Amino acid sequence: MAGVHVVVGLGREIPNGGEIKVVFSITGVEPDGEGDDLSDEVGQRGNTCATGLLLLVGGFVGEPHHHAVSEHGAPNAVLALSICSLVVGCLVCLRGAGPNRLLVVAQRHEKSAALNEGALVAYASAMAEDLLILGGALIDGTGAEPVPDTALLLSDGAITAIGPEAVAQADPGVTTIDATNKTVMPGIIDSHLHCSFDDVVSNDELFFHREPTMVALTTAQNLQKILRAGVTSFVDPDTAHGVGPAVRDAVKAGVIVGPRMKTGVQALVTAVGGTAGRLIPDEGTVGYAQVVNSIDEVILWTRRHIKYGADWIKIHATGTVPGGKGELLVWSPDELRASCDAAHALGVPVMAHCRSPESTIACAEAGVDLILHGSYMDDAGLEAVLESGAAICPTFTFLANLADHGSKVGVTPGMDNIFRGEIAATAKMMRKAYDAGVKLICGSESGFALTPYGHWHAREMEVFVEELGLTELEAITTATKNGAWAMRMEDEIGTLEVGKLADVLVVDGDPTANITVLQDKSRLSEVICRGERTDLSAPWPEHRPIAGWKVSGWASEVLTWDRAQA
């Protein structure tokens, strides 16, 4: 998503009354920070001309680069595109000296990314039918109380009317969805999951037994499970073999089906490693990790990940050392700052895995935008977070599943109390942070054997209610409105308001009375993403064992001679 995205709203009439909009991006040019002035943001004649040329060539070969077109009733979309490309290309070239006269909208990175996505949605949903949802109680995701019996009209992938206007504006033959006695709410945004891990059992399996192409293929299947569970958007911090940007782009282009997605490439780790001990090599890359051994390498890999298409940079700030207790901060303040500065200079935010009190302080002070876990955060940590304005995604779900259900899937007895203790200690401070105004984000850590895709995305809300004492509505807001912040799409998704994109759930039940109904897929009547209904009746996507992937031990106990005689 690096680059300045430019929307040229030509609004050109074509013979049968349709309209064409063209979106293209000038990659390799980054917004320079605060300036809103177009010439400040783009302004370089060379780039503009190059784009014009690109479009010209695209027009000639009939396959323009980076286009998204919303067309209604065009007799020949390809022809229209080509003509349009030529027109735009010529205009851009001719007016290279004054691009700001031509460029109708050019905005900063996050905003323009959303615009680009919006245009793609318009393209994808050109064939999506209008939907009128009737009779449901509407939770809009802003934290407002549910409004009973509220209609919602979805057209062209967006919310076009709410309430009586929705009914009034709907075409007579519109497809209606009866949501009587049900709840209508924004799609869930899971701001911390790992879509490429395929419900992995161990780091050994993830690091050494998986081949990149198969990782991408299984990810494509797992995205369907995530969507089927009501997740219409997610953020993935780091991906096996760095497949994240390619997967995201495949979803955007309609190659595969999945929720909206923002992604990192791999997690930056120091040579100490993270939670994988000596499985992390001294240098290079493995699994989800990229080792950085100096400030120069920190900057180098931050920039490379952005070049590869990272929406977020992920820092693994804490790790384990032999004999050490818990996780320790394994980055220096200068290293943390180097990554934050390099990322921010290119308009990309940074998140960090922080599972020690010191790490939350150091990361907040270095400029990290999103703290993951924030385990054992203390008052000084909270102060640093408040000072920096960072958000926190505690991601209790993995721990909560271990504590509550681990014994059912072979987790060592006694571990449950350890994890319960970590949750309790951290939850107290998270409540304090929430009360102090810190933005709390909902994430599930799905992708591991303890948090398989499609099962636990809504559990974090239950933990927020149970352990932090949030109301159900407040918990829902962390997974809707606040999630849109993590997606850098606050103007586009997260709440049900006119003009926002059509990511909507219809739930058979009242999550404000019982938040756990959101975990029960049999209660999901509709999952609408980009204005399109998801087929919830198809068989659950599942794959058989993949050759060489699962690593099993030879035995769970040692076979001594005595044991054999017993």
Cβ atoms < 10 Å from Cβ of 90:
14
Q: Tell me which residue of 391, 276, 268, 273 sits closest to 338, measured CA to CA.
A: 268
In order of 120, 173, 177, 499, 526, the CA distances from 131 in angstroms are 19, 10, 7, 15, 12
Name the minimum Å distance from CB 246 to Zn ion.
Answer: 20
Task: Retrieve residue 522's tokens.
Answer: 């049999």
Name the minimum Å distance from CB 77 to Zn ion.
Answer: 41
Q: Tell me which residue of 497, 512, 506, 244 sits closest to 234, measured CA to CA.
A: 244
Helix or strand (DSSP H, E) at 175? strand 175-178
Give the nearer residue to Zn ion in terms of CB position, either 335 or 445.
Answer: 445
Give the nearer residue to Zn ion in terms of CB position, either 82 or 395.
Answer: 395
Give the nearer residue to Zn ion in terms of CB position, either 194 or 252.
Answer: 194
Give the whole-angstrom CA distance, residue 434 versus residue 377: 13
Name the minimum Å distance from CB 194 to Zn ion.
Answer: 6
E strands in 230-377: 231-236, 260-263, 267-269, 285-286, 289-291, 313-316, 318-319, 328-329, 350-354, 370-373
Name the minimum Å distance from CB 190 to Zn ion.
Answer: 11
Give the whole-angstrom CA distance, residue 394 versus residue 191: 10
Binding residues (CB under 5 A) for Zn ion: these are 445
Helix or strand (DSSP H, E) at 392? strand 391-393
Give the nearer residue to Zn ion in terms of CB position, either 267 or 348.
Answer: 267
> Is 439 in contact with 485 (CB distance < 8 Å)?
yes
Give the nearer residue to Zn ion in terms of CB position, either 434 or 448.
Answer: 448
> Is 139 in contact with 473 (CB distance < 8 Å)?
yes
Residue nearest to Zn ion (CB): 445
> Hey, what amino acid is at 458?
A
- Reduced to 3 states (helix: H, G, I; strand: E, B; else coil), residue 458 is coil
> Hey, what amino acid is at 155?
S
Give the nearer residue to Zn ion in terms of CB position, either 20 or 188.
Answer: 188
- Reduced to 3 states (helix: H, G, I; strand: E, B; else coil), residue 188 is strand
Name the minimum Å distance from CB 373 to Zn ion.
Answer: 8
Give the whole-angstrom CA distance, residue 330 versus residue 262: 26
Give the whole-angstrom CA distance, residue 451 versus residue 444: 8
Cβ atoms < 10 Å from Cβ of 311:
26
Name the minimum Å distance from CB 372 to Zn ion.
Answer: 6
Name the minimum Å distance from CB 266 to Zn ion.
Answer: 12
Give the nearer residue to Zn ion in terms of CB position, either 221 or 275.
Answer: 275
Name the minimum Å distance from CB 290 to Zn ion.
Answer: 15
Name the minimum Å distance from CB 95 to Zn ion.
Answer: 47
Give the nearer residue to Zn ion in terms of CB position, either 445 or 460.
Answer: 445
Give the nearer residue to Zn ion in terms of CB position, either 297 or 445.
Answer: 445
Give the whole-angstrom CA distance, residue 211 versus residue 282: 21
Q: Tell me which residue of 35, 109, 503 sits closest to 310, measured CA to CA.
A: 109
Name the minimum Å distance from CB 126 to Zn ion.
Answer: 36
Give the nearer residue to Zn ion in terms of CB position, either 187 or 394.
Answer: 394
Name the minimum Å distance from CB 390 to Zn ion.
Answer: 17
Give the whole-angstrom CA distance, residue 542 versus residue 391: 35
Give the whole-angstrom CA distance, residue 363 versus residue 360: 5
Give the nearer residue to Zn ion in terms of CB position, either 70 or 444.
Answer: 444
What residues form DSSP beta bridges with 260? 233
